[in-house]
Chains A and B, each alone.
Chain A
């Protein structure tokens, strides 16, 4: 009951979905659309799971007065206020959007922008020609960076031999690079497929936990 039934359910569900996609007659019956809808409805029902988890973790922090417990308290307050307000007025409400645009958008945008800084410090530390592999990576990175900006055109114009810096960059991108990415993708497909099969065949059952 506790382990066998879930294992069978997973496999059975996978078979149903698989057939609904590949079989013509089942497509005619709109089986797939109905299954999709059922899955989406499950998402709709499960929307409070995240809130439940946060409430548990941060409630624990607050009750034990651990480090930063006041921040945890603030997190729960803002979460419930914003959630209840949003559910009452809808996400297109202008006041709701005002807060979204004033706080979430700039914080997210700035967090994203920090990547540029980390890139800078990482290139300083990582791109050192310790091994042949590291050297290759460094040279390619530097080459592409320069050829991507107007300076590259200025140093070795694209009208000259071999299409200039940009010409060589384009060759690297469209020949060896594209081949590597395709081969990696083939591997990823096979690996992902095998991972799916491991669950499908019930070989991997760690997610069902103990007992």
Chain B
């Protein structure tokens, strides 16, 4: 019996996981979420402290696969920006990501009644990686080839008159939505003067917090939990808040499995394999 438990077929665990995730999606429970003061609150305050009319730049560094985690953050931040009267410039380091968020951002902007080219702009993906961004630091228009995502020249977009150089005077804050590389290293290394907020996938939190005390990051939104916290801060509960219950149950499943695994291990007292070194 215990021997069997020790070598439990993974497929049973997989089945349990699917069940545990689906049930709360169909029948939500609605447990409350508290806000993390060191990370999410800091991000919220950084953006909240910008004077009305400042330009915030979004750096899209994710793609469809991390949609469930990062897109709700983007929507919640846009909600806050609309309240504060901030302007938005969408750029990005991931081409697939910009394709992916294009319509979502446009739809959200439309819901606020933002005017394209005046209140917000999407300059699209610019090939060339870091060297392109470095070129934008000296001359944004030239570095960005002078056109937005739909090939409209910058001359026809009034907001671009304010962005001649990629520096702290033109861009008050960069929010990077990051799920991998290239990512925030670009900004930390080459543009340390512009305030940087990271909307991060959960996997990168542990390795990113060290940038908070040094001020290299002005805020960090941690994963779906962070998105739910942000939705709470802006007072608009959305998708993330709804999905937190499924998260709760699946975490309990893992804890249950860990306990079960330890019971099996200690009662069989058999040394199988060895822990990584």
Q: Is B49 an interface residue (CB 8 A)?
A: no
Q: Is A7 an interface residue (CB 8 A)?
A: no
- B165 CB, nearest partner CB in chain A, Å: 16
Number of interface residues of A (CB under 8 A): 48
Within 8 A of A (CB), among B2-58: 8, 10, 13-14, 17, 31-34, 36-39
Chain B residues within 8 Å of A55, by CB: none
Task: Check A150–B255 contact: CB distance below 8 A.
Answer: no
Which of A68-76, A119-127, A202-210 is found at the contact surface with chain B? A119-127
- Report the Cα distance A64→B28, complex, angstroms: 56
- A56 CB, nearest partner CB in chain B, Å: 28
- Report the Cα distance A120→B254, complex, angstroms: 6
Task: Check B257–A124 contact: CB distance below 8 A.
Answer: yes
Task: Check A149–B261 contact: CB distance below 8 A.
Answer: no
Chain B residue nearest in CB terms to A151: B248
Q: Is B253 an interface residue (CB 8 A)?
A: yes
- B17 CB, nearest partner CB in chain A, Å: 5
Q: Is B239 an interface residue (CB 8 A)?
A: no
Chain B residues within 8 Å of A145, by CB: 251, 254-255
Task: Check A124–B65 contact: CB distance below 8 A.
Answer: no
Task: Check A40–B128 contact: CB distance below 8 A.
Answer: yes
Which of B70-78, B84-92, B155-163, B202-210 is found at the contact surface with chain A? B202-210
- B94 CB, nearest partner CB in chain A, Å: 13
Task: Check B255–A146 contact: CB distance below 8 A.
Answer: yes
Given contacts A148-B225, A150-B31, A173-B205, contact A112 B261 (CB under 8 A): no
Chain A residues within 8 Å of B202, by CB: 148
Task: Check B262–A129 contact: CB distance below 8 A.
Answer: yes
Interface string of A136-154 (1 = CB under 8 A from B): 0010001001101111011
Task: Check A117–B17 contact: CB distance below 8 A.
Answer: yes
Chain B residues within 8 Å of A170, by CB: 36-39
Using a CB–CB distance below 8 Å, which chain B residues touch chain A?
8, 10, 13-14, 17, 31-34, 36-39, 64-66, 99, 128, 131, 135, 202, 205-207, 209-210, 212-213, 223, 225, 244-245, 247-248, 250-255, 257-258, 260-262, 265-266, 271, 273-276
Besides A119-B254, A128-B261, A173-B209, 18 more A-B contacts (Cβ < 8 Å) are A108-B65, A123-B257, A126-B276, A145-B255, A146-B252, A148-B202, A148-B247, A149-B244, A149-B247, A150-B33, A151-B251, A166-B34, A166-B36, A170-B38, A173-B205, A178-B210, A181-B207, A182-B210
21 contacts between A and B (CB under 8 A): A33-B135, A36-B128, A108-B64, A108-B65, A117-B14, A120-B13, A123-B258, A124-B13, A124-B261, A127-B261, A129-B266, A145-B255, A148-B202, A150-B244, A150-B247, A151-B31, A151-B251, A166-B34, A174-B38, A177-B206, A178-B213
Using a CB–CB distance below 8 Å, which chain A residues touch chain B?
33, 36-37, 40, 97, 105, 108-109, 112, 116-117, 119-121, 123-131, 133-134, 138, 142, 145-146, 148-151, 153-154, 157-159, 164, 166, 170, 173-174, 177-178, 181-182, 185
